[in-house]
């Protein structure tokens, strides 16, 4: 009787348990997907600015371009412009200090860590005619980012994502287990049949068939939850985002490398400051660019001889 009661309670509670696990799986899958999406979002912003810079460049017009200096300038511009535009979009909201997503997912901190870490590795690259291992540098930088490889900065993404990936199989196994437990509990009740008492025997067989049919529903529930988990895992695929993120960032660094002439480290180099006001940083960069353009123009005018007709 104890086994039979356990089987009944197990079968009754198993579909609800699978429902709770499914909801938790969808929730954590969404969190993992959104966390990786922050990687991919910044890669898109960086790729956009690199492509715009390359399109406006004229081959041979400007020489002696440092790979590190150019990468630093474009990474900083991507960081400042991305968050300046986002903050400008939300300027009418009450929270003007930090978005809720920044507090929960550490978005801005993660992007700042990414910029600092990638620049730390790029400045030691030896200049060669061949393309360096920028793909390995990109993968290592994203993989070791403490803000992006953990959900809420605490739960490791890799282990959590692997667990969510096996949920569809676990639902099927749970449904089959519920069916076998129900069959085992029902078979125990058949031992009390008395073939001479046809009414009692019929009642026992009816109850047995009812328990078996109810136990089969756990397999159906397991299959349904498994299918829905597969659909959610496909729609919210962090693996697909990861491949896109790495390809975009690495191809952008390749374009900068092909455009550069060396990898000289500047004597005076201001450290990247993620706490600086983006609008102030962009304004200063725009002024410096304009002054540099005018200075180069005056130097070209001075060196160019005038012809008197």
Q: Which tens digit of pLDDT belongs to each residue from 126-147?
A: 887 777 788 888 888 888 888 8
pLDDT digits (tens, 9 = 90+) for 86-106: 655 555 444 444 555 666 677
Residue 286 pLDDT:
53
This prediction has a pTM of: 0.72
Identify the pLDDT of residue 22: 95
Query: pLDDT tens-digit profile of 20-59?
Result: 999 999 999 998 898 888 888 889 999 999 999 999 888 7
Residue 288, pLDDT above cutoff 60: no
Which position has the higher pLDDT, 65 or 100?
65
Pick the residue with more confidence: 41 or 84? 41
Q: What is the pLDDT of residue 44?
A: 92
What string of H, E and C letters represents the secondary structure of 79-125?
Answer: HHHHHHHHHHHCCCCCCCCCCHHHHHHCHHHHHHHHHHHHHHHHCCC
Residue 219 reports pLDDT greater than 60: yes
CB-based contact 249:75 (threshold 8 Å):
no
pLDDT, mean over the chain: 77
- Is the pLDDT reported for residue 263 higher than 60? yes
Q: Positive or negative CA dihedral for 72, 73, 76, 79?
A: negative
| pLDDT at site 302 | 40
Whether residue 277 is predicted with pLDDT greater than 60 in this model: the reply is no
The pLDDT of residue 305 is 40
Q: What is the pLDDT of residue 103?
A: 63
pLDDT at 81: 84
For the residues 250-271, what does the mean pLDDT come to? 84
Specify the 3-state DSSP secondary structure of 151: strand
Tokens at 108, concatenated = 């801005």
CA dihedral 53, 54, 58, 62 (to 10 degrees): 70
Let me know if 215 is exposed, middle or buried by CB neighbors in 10 A (0-12, 13-18, 19+). buried
Q: What's the mean pLDDT in 7-18?
A: 79
């Amino acid at each position: 009787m104890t086994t039979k009661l356990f089987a009944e309670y197990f079968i009754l509670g198993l579909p609800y348990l699978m429902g709770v696990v499914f909801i938790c799986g969808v929730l954590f899958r969404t969190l993992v997907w959104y966390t990786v999406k922050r990687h991919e979002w910044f890669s898109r912003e960086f790729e956009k600015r690199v492509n715009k810079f390359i399109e406006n460049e004229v081959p041979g017009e400007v020489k002696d371009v440092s790979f590190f200096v150019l990468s630093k300038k474009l990474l900083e511009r991507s960081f400042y412009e991305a968050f300046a535009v986002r903050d400008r979009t939300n300027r009418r909201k009450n929270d003007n200090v930090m978005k809720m997503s920044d507090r929960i997912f550490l978005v801005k901190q993660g992007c700042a860590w990414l910029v600092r870490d990638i620049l730390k590795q790029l400045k030691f690259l030896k200049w060669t005619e061949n393309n360096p291992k920028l793909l390995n540098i990109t993968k290592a930088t994203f993989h070791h980012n403490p803000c992006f490889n953990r959900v809420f900065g605490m739960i490791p993404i890799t282990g959590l994502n692997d667990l969510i990936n096996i949920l569809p199989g676990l639902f099927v196994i749970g449904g089959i287990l519920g069916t076998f437990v129900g069959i085992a509990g029902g078979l125990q009740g058949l031992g009390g049949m008395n073939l001479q008492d046809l009414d009692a025997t019929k009642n026992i067989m009816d109850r047995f068939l009812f328990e078996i049919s109810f136990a089969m529903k756990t397999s159906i529930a397991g299959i349904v939850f498994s299918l829905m988990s597969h659909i959610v895992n496909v729609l919210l695929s962090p693996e697909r985002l990861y491949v896109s993120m790495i390809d975009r960032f690495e191809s952008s660094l390749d374009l900068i490398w092909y455009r550069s002439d060396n990898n000289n480290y500047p004597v005076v180099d201001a450290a990247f400051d993620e706490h600086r006001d983006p609008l102030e940083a962009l304004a200063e960069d725009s002024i410096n660019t304009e002054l540099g353009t005018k200075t180069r123009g005056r130097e070209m005018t001075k060196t160019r001889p005038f012809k008197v007709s």
